Amino acid sequence: MKTKIFTGKEDLIQAARIINQGGLVAFPTETVYGLGADALNEEAVGKIFQAKGRPGDNPLIVHISRPSEIGQLTSKLSADLVALIDQFWPGPLTFIVKKKPEVPRITTGGLDTVAVRMPDNPLALELISRAGTPIAAPSANLSGRPSPTKASHVREDLDGLIDAIVFGEDCRVGIESTVLDMSQGTPRILRPGVITAEQIEAVIHRKVALDSSLLTENKEEGSLEGQKEDSSAPRAPGMKYTHYAPRAEMIVVEGPRHKVKEEIERLKKVNEKIGNDVGVILFEEQAFIEAAHDFFAKLREMDEKGKDIIFAGALSYRDGVGFAVMNRMLKSAGYNIVRV
């Protein structure tokens, strides 16, 4: 298949036509690039799983262009949900809600809930609105690879496998949306993102829970203990699969900042001596937003440069954004952690 490259707003008419005909179009959002298909067309959604090599029980996020369109996907909106939509949409916050029967099971990985979000990107909103249908879109990478934050990343992974790519700017946020389960009882964060539990709590005036796959009971403030893999079944099915893995082996070095730097220097030297090409990922202290923005692009850069081994300095996070970046970093490294 020849993948069309669309670069202008005027191309969105064609892109929307492809969606309406059951094809696949990758497009930019503020978080990462998405791989879109008509969310209500089973056959079209099936092609997403095929192109990405994505397991069929990993549900997709459905993207809409106006808050009111959520009514096509779910029937009851709680007061909390309405308040959160008002505050955070368009933006990097996805809600899990009970689905209407019209939403095909293939879109929700067989679940009776659906994930919904209104992205904050003009090209994305125009594409969805022109298509006149909600668009299901996971991140536009091959399953298991780092999420794409530039159009060139999408091309790297999916050229020849999908109908078109809408080339937009590099993604502003750089990590995927916060996923918040609003389908039962206490709202629960299933995947952390740049919209934090504290920000959500400030709007709904009640506690938000973190899914057990993200936290353990004895979590100490700022410690990685809270982000160990957990044997209990995660509620966001996607969280259980290998994620974001660079081709190189990756190791996270955790500890006080100066010690982390020293240890990475030492490990680098030792590894270079035995002929390894070593990559280092070390963000400025407390620069969580920048870390989110750059992290996935850095992983891909390491692959491009053919690094054999990557040492990444753990962020000593004090806020939810740092926590969200560490979630990605630990997954990329397969929970390979050295403590100093």
Residue 191, interface with ligand TXA (CB under 6 A)? yes
**For ligand TXA, which is the closer residue by CB, 194 or 278?**
194
Decide if 12 contacts 127 (C-beta within 8 A): yes
- When binding is defined by CB under 6 A, the residue of 23, 90, 187, 237 that contacts ligand TXA is 237
**For ligand TXA, which is the closer residue by CB, 106 or 111?**
111
Segment contacting Mg ion by CB under 5 A, of 139-147, 150-158, 206-214, 317-325: 139-147
* R_g of the chain, CA atoms, integer Å: 20
- When binding is defined by CB under 6 A, the residue of 90, 104, 119, 279 that contacts ligand TXA is 119
Count residues near Mg ion (CB under 5 A).
1
Residue 59, interface with ligand TXA (CB under 6 A)? yes
Burial per residue of 26-55, b for 16 or more beta-carbon CB atoms within 10 angstroms, e otherwise: bbbbbbbbbbbbbbbbeebbbbbbebbebe
Phi, psi of 237 (to 5 degrees): -55, -30
Residue 108, interface with ligand TXA (CB under 6 A)? yes
Nearest residue to the partner Mg ion, using Cβ = 139
Segment contacting ligand TXA by CB under 6 A, of 160-168, 231-239, 253-261, 288-296: 231-239
Site string for ligand TXA, 29-48 (x = CB under 6 A): x-xx-x--------------
Residue 12, interface with ligand TXA (CB under 6 A)? no
Residues facing residue 254 across a β-bridge: 339
Burial per residue of 69-96, b for 16 or more beta-carbon CB atoms within 10 angstroms, e otherwise: bbebbbeeeeebbeebbeebbbbbbbbb
Residue owning tokens 């403030």:
221
Task: Compute the distance between CA of residue 238 and CA of residue 141 in angstroms, rounded to an integer.
Answer: 14
Site string for ligand TXA, 138-177 (x = CB under 6 A): xx------------------------------------xx
User: In the bound complex, what is the minimum distance in angstroms from residue 95's beta carbon to ligand TXA?
Assistant: 10
Interface of this chain with Mg ion, residues 279 to 308, rule: CB under 5 A: none
Q: Provide the token pair at 119.
A: 């992205």
Residues 6+ apart with CB under 8 A from 68: none
Q: Report which of 129, 197, 142 is spatially closest to residue 26, judged by C-alpha positions.
A: 142
Residue 139, interface with Mg ion (CB under 5 A)? yes
Quickly count: other Cβ atoms within 10 Å of residue 326's Cβ: 25
CA 267, distance to chain mean position in Å, is 30
User: In the bound complex, what is the minimum distance in angstroms from residue 156's beta carbon to ligand TXA?
Assistant: 16
Q: Report which of 189, 138, 174, 111 is spatially closest to residue 34, judged by C-alpha positions.
A: 138
Residue 177, interface with Mg ion (CB under 5 A)? no
Residue 149, interface with Mg ion (CB under 5 A)? no
* Chain residues in the site for ligand TXA (CB under 6 A): 29, 31-32, 34, 58-61, 92, 94, 96, 108, 111, 113-115, 117, 119, 137-139, 176-177, 179, 190-191, 235-239
* Chain residues in the site for Mg ion (CB under 5 A): 139
